[in-house]
Structure 1
């Protein structure tokens, strides 16, 4: 028999049928391993092999070191200093990630995100399970369509109309704080501010986005606030959960295992869907009866309902509409409240900055309008952006190359072979990491005072250095990322941030409960949140008194 004769499909099937299940399984395993080896060889040939830190774990590479670190940004920055502006880090089960710390490389990456660089399988699986196939999950043309449909709700004109909603929420919180302080014998009170920032943000997005008051600032107990408090308030993953999350980077099916944490996320998703469905039914009913304010069609929920009935390119399915609402609920409770909490911590640590900000607000007089908040309060703007620089709610992003690419660099790096190169080749299937927090506070990019809370850097012409100016993105920050996936709610979040901070700082004095040197750590979870060391959950108790 000719050794090179190719067996016919029928003879191959006969062989498989006659063979044992064990032999069949071994054959498929061998085929799977062969394909993996081919892919690995292609990756090594097509991808520029870069220097990087050694593997500290056979299973995790350096991924667990980064996951458990209180300052993963410092690890990324230290590697950039040692190995160059782009480098490789060993990851889970032999995988490798390319880390971009070069402004030109990052700009190239973001310009091609959602097309050449896409969500990882674990990100897609987690997003679909928690919030559905909305704008966070969508990629390519689907993402462009969904974003275009939602854009009018986040225009300057739309946010200008919502400024009064921001004020209403923060003044409701102010009234509650006044009552607490008045009942105190000492004229001050210890208030856990993170929970209050959560509820200010949730009630604001409820009214601004869905014309619905959740009433969390009034202490109203509703299923969505209970679930948010439960999920975000005790979000420190166990060691077992950390291992599950890391292994799921390679095997997303692990997310299907019903751990307690996964059950909690599932329950949160179901609760958000129930609330979203109730709001949609009510809004559709009001639309049919022509109830509501003029211009409501450009609200978030108005645009979503409008998109359902369109046969145009902007049409969204009922599943997509539901997903957008869940995304907005989650974002409303999460990201802005984290930023506000960090700002209050920094102001408590820096009483001179707090006093200067209060002086600017008091000198201005009445509550500023939308346009005045944007243009007439430079120190408020500086404090907000300095807080966003130091404490981005999402400290890093990981993407997967969907196609081969060549990334240009602003300065050459040394490859593993010892050659210098001013561009790197990326093979399809490569994991790419953008260490957002590390770039935002890199000493190489922002100068020797990069780790300091220093709002003054935003007030002078030379406050932002030459290297920082090379970083593309809102105000040279990566906090809102860049490119086609730039945060759609960026202007909404900044305006809410400024409104809430202006009212609170004008009316109250903030101090760390246990003194200015009180240690604050990062509690890991869906979003990394600040927590005073020793507190349960995500507690940030501050000593607050009214400013007289």
Structure 2
């Protein structure tokens, strides 16, 4: 009798993945005739990858979409892995519809939710439907205008802490790589103390989240992940790094929750806890409250740490870079800040009384959105209206398209934010002045909904809950730094700046390793 072959766990996993892939491909072929309106688009580079490699290799992630929109119309389809197709929306009317229907029609894909669950847990970013609605409603009071007013002084305190740090080390010409502690204090009642020279596990985890040099397997998982959701759990170097980040943030969230419990039991609180976003939320919710969030949901809100800690710091890095390139605009901003007076502005004054500061921040958010695209899966069949008629693959001219359940749709935020079609011939240039005349200019950007005609914060029911928080912090940081320091490139304003690939893209000097941009920093005379 022939010996019985024993299957290893790896064999079982491989065969299972192969069987799943065959079923997936067969299902795609069977349903291909019911994929909604067939649209024109670029040819596929390969059946295995589609055009994913071209998008991944682009220095400007929005540029391929702009080129395809110019050739095929503002709504088109691109080939993706394993013979699939994805619909791309670059039409304002279609984009507005897409965001308005999030949560009810367009939801995150299985892969997207698996990645979020692995990294952050099942909190607001992961939730869909009624769960998202409940969690968002519970969090909203902590991000109200009244709450941000209370937190504005925290933003300034942390900004002056950074100023003092630079004052003490100015003779060494520091690189602009420091992060602020304000999101740790304001969001988590936790001071990371990175500026005090102490080791920050969170800062170290974020610094390790580079997508450059991660190896062939990690990049293959990234390219094929949209079609193979189980790859989010595959033990690649990138997935391991993201898992370590989640563990680090969970430790901080655990410490916070325990601290809040002790304070509740002892009736002792401190000023930092009272002004904490999470502190405000926890103190506002009783165990029997209608919108009560369970312990797992509270811990999963550590996504706030990523959203604030990393995206805002990336934003002011880009702001200092753009202002270093154009010293005249840096001087113009400093003049407005100095004329405002010696006292720090209130939140209301940050919003209304510093128009050029507002313009600079908006221009950075337009040019350098921390998240480059939104991809969702259709939960049900839908019809998407289009403002500019397009020609379908069959030659029909239409002003709407049918989207079948299960279809993938993408809005390229970088494309919409940087397109000459919407922002004029200087769309890719840093020009804060455009925001001072936008209401009078005949730009198509005004067709786009969202915060000030930008979709950097998304729109609709999933618009960024913390945008007022982020804007106030961004403005406070930039005001203190520009008021007290001047910024230049050691190699002159012609220094070429590129993008370092990471979970949140960061600036880098082209040709140099890592996300480092050295700057000459001098005190303002």
| Same fold at TM > 0.5 | yes
Partner of 1:481: 458
Q: Which of residues 165, 175, 182 in structure 2 aligns to 1:192?
A: 175
Range with greater deviation from structure 2 (400-409 or 247-256): 247-256
Alignment map for 1:65-214 (pairs within 5 Å): 65-181=54-170, 183=171, 189=173, 191-193=174-176, 195-196=177-178, 199-200=179-180, 203-214=181-192
Partner of 1:4: none
Question: Aligned with 1:411: secondary structure?
Answer: strand
Q: Which string of whole-angstrom CA distances, capped at 9 and with x for unpartnered residues, describes residues 98-122 of structure 1?
A: 0000000011100111221010111
Partner of 1:414: 391
Deviation at 1:42, TM superposition (A): 3.8
Question: Aligned with 2:77: secondary structure?
Answer: strand
- Do the aligned residues in 1 keep the contact of 2:142 with 2:281 (CA within 8 Å)? no
- Do the aligned residues in 1 keep the contact of 2:107 with 2:377 (CA within 8 Å)? yes
TM-score (norm 1): 0.89
Asked if residue 378 in structure 1 is aligned to residue 355 in structure 2, the reply is yes
Partner of 2:6: none
Q: Give the number of aligned pairs.
A: 510
Deviation at 1:462, TM superposition (A): 4.7
Range with greater deviation from structure 2 (368-377 or 250-259): 250-259
Distance 2:46 2:440 in 1: 41
Question: Aligned with 2:209: secondary structure?
Answer: helix
Asked if residue 347 in structure 1 is aligned to residue 330 in structure 2, the reply is no
Deviation at 1:513, TM superposition (A): 2.2
Deviation at 1:288, TM superposition (A): 1.8
Deviation at 1:487, TM superposition (A): 0.4
TM-score (norm 2): 0.92
Deviation at 1:255, TM superposition (A): 2.4
Q: Which has the larger radius of gyration?
A: 1
Distance 1:255 1:290 in 2: 43
Distance 1:424 1:245 in 2: 29
Partner of 1:429: 406
- Do the aligned residues in 2 keep the contact of 1:103 with 1:471 (CA within 8 Å)? yes
Distance 1:295 1:534 in 2: 43
Q: Which string of whole-angstrom CA distances, capped at 9 and with x for unpartnered residues, describes residues 29-74 of structure 1?
A: 9998678546545443351000001111231111111012111211
Go from structure 1 to structure 2 and tell me whether the alpha carbon gap of 1:305 and 1:236 turns closer, same or farther (over 3 Å shift).
Answer: farther
Deviation at 1:403, TM superposition (A): 0.6
Question: Aligned with 2:458: secondary structure?
Answer: coil
- Do the aligned residues in 2 keep the contact of 1:235 with 1:523 (CA within 8 Å)? yes
Q: What is the Cα-based RMSD across aligned positions, in Å?
A: 2.3
Go from structure 1 to structure 2 and tell me whether the alpha carbon gap of 1:240 and 1:521 turns closer, same or farther (over 3 Å shift).
Answer: farther
Q: Which of residues 245, 262, 282 in structure 2 aligns to 1:268?
A: 245
- Do the aligned residues in 1 keep the contact of 2:160 with 2:480 (CA within 8 Å)? yes
